[in-house]
């Protein structure tokens, strides 16, 4: 299967991709990562640390569906870190043609909520995902979840923005998102994770919870099995 990690600019997408890969591997899944962001930070992370859990293939191409996807090991979990959709819509479109599941990383703050829902320039991510249905065999966009990252303890923001995302904004007329109940906390050790060793308690627990939730939702293949 292919899980796509998407986000508007600088939300914590690469952090979430790498640490989700680490949690999936520790849960016994066969994992392979793909770096489809031209900044290649995920690939550099794998190069620079010894406990990164899997191979990271460079895959920042708008021909992702045609040239990268067919060669994947489809019996395992493939995880692709997409660059921000504003600057790389062609790559994101190609990933969405073939992704089984999309996780959109969003920080629960006003500017980040607005960057997702009302960007000053470009197409909203909701529309990019919705229109991908036209290129998929099912005719439907991939199942998509929002994962809230950088959630401050004792702040009302995670609850507030989760509600706004679920309800389609204050008016109820904006796109409605399904928000995972797992929340990645705002932590220095997570802020420093990209390019650093994975085996740190703060870098494990929230992502283990994410794997548990995705498993309960029925989105992950059986460990050691096929999708």
Ligand X SMILES: Nc1ncnc2c1ncn2[C@@H]1O[C@H](COP(=O)(O)OP(=O)(O)OP(=O)(O)O)[C@@H](O)[C@H]1O
* 187 forms part of the interface with ligand X (CB under 6 A): yes
Q: Which of 29, 88, 115, 150 binds ligand X (CB under 6 A)?
A: 150
Closest to ligand X by CB, 17 or 71 = 17
Q: Which of 9, 47, 118, 127 binds ligand X (CB under 6 A)?
A: 9
* Minimum distance, C-beta of residue 37 to Mg ion, in the bound complex (Å): 5
Closest to ligand X by CB, 31 or 190 = 190
* 74 forms part of the interface with ligand X (CB under 6 A): no
Q: Per this entry, what is the length of the chain?
A: 227
Q: Residue 149: name the closest of 190, 194, 101 by CA.
A: 190
Token readout for 200 is 């740190």
Rounded to an integer, what distance in angstroms lies between the CA atom of residue 73 and that of residue 61? 19
Q: Which of residues 14-33 bind ligand X (CB under 6 A)?
A: 14-15
Token readout for 201 is 């308690």
Rounded alpha-carbon distances, angstroms, from residue 62 to 89, 184, 191: 9, 30, 29
By a kind-dependent CB cut-off of 5 to 8 A, residue 210 interacts, out of Mg ion, ligand X, none, with none
* 46 forms part of the interface with Mg ion (CB under 5 A): no
**Dihedral over alpha carbons 38, 148, 117, 99 (to 10 degrees):** 50
């Amino acid at each position: 299967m292919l899980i796509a990690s998407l986000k508007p600019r600088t939300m914590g997408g690469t952090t979430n991709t790498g640490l989700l890969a680490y949690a999936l591997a520790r849960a016994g899944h066969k994992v392979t990562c793909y770096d489809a962001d031209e900044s290649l930070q995920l690939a550099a992370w794998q190069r620079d640390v010894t406990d990164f859990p899997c191979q990271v293939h460079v895959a920042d191409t708008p021909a992702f569906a045609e040239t990268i996807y067919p060669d994947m090991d489809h019996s395992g979990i493939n995880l692709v870190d997409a660059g921000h959709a504003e600057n790389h819509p062609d790559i994101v479109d190609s990933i969405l043609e073939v992704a089984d599941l999309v996780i959109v990383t969003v920080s629960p703050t006003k500017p980040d909520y607005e960057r997702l829902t009302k960007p000053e320039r470009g197409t909203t991510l909701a529309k990019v995902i919705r229109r991908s249905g036209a290129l998929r065999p099912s005719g439907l966009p991939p199942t998509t979840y929002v994962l809230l990252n950088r959630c401050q303890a004792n702040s009302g923001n995670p609850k507030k923005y989760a509600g706004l995302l679920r309800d389609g904004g204050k008016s109820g007329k904006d796109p409605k998102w399904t928000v995972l109940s797992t929340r990645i906390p705002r932590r220095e050790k997570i802020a420093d994770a990209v390019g650093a060793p994975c085996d740190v308690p703060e870098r494990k627990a929230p992502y283990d919870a994410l794997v548990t939730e995705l498993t309960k939702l029925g989105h992950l293949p059986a460990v050691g099995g096929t999708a």
